[in-house]
Amino acid sequence: GTVAQAAGDTLRSGGLRGLLLPHGLTMIAAREVPYCGCLFFLSGQFRARLRPSAQEPPHSWLRLAASDYAAAFFTALVAGPLSHAPSVVASYQQAHAAGLGCAVRAIYEARGGMRGFFHGLLPRTLSLSGSLFIVPFTIELLQPLLG
């Protein structure tokens, strides 16, 4: 279906509240807040420590990219575990139109207790390293060009 059809279905089944405050919104915020903190603060801290110093001979784009990717990887090791469980719960809520308590119980029962909230942590953490690399690297690359 189309976006308009999905919005109409959501409006019919959940009313205006369902459209403006969809299932999983709290867990989406719980996922995004630590991720954004890592993206906009921790990532910069790692980049500052891992980048070649200004006193070294001019560094290549490849060396800069490699140091920034290493920073992104270390940042992902923090962001992944902090944001993963809320991501799992939000995904369940959205897929099943379930409330928070229902989603937590279902995940806990179906996935063997607490470890169910961390199922898929490694692949998600590795994938986060990509966005934690490309976003700051692109911003810094484009800032001088855009003024």
DSSP codes joined into one string, 84-117: HHHHHHHHHHHHHT--HHHHHHHHHHHTTGGGGG
Collapsing DSSP to helix, strand or coil, 135 comes out as: helix
pLDDT score of 109: 97
Q: What is the mean pLDDT of each run of 10 residues along the chain (147 residues)?
A: 85 78 89 95 94 72 88 97 96 93 97 95 96 92 86
Greatest Cα pair distance, the chain, in angstroms, is 63
pLDDT score of 58: 63
pLDDT score of 53: 75
pLDDT score of 54: 67
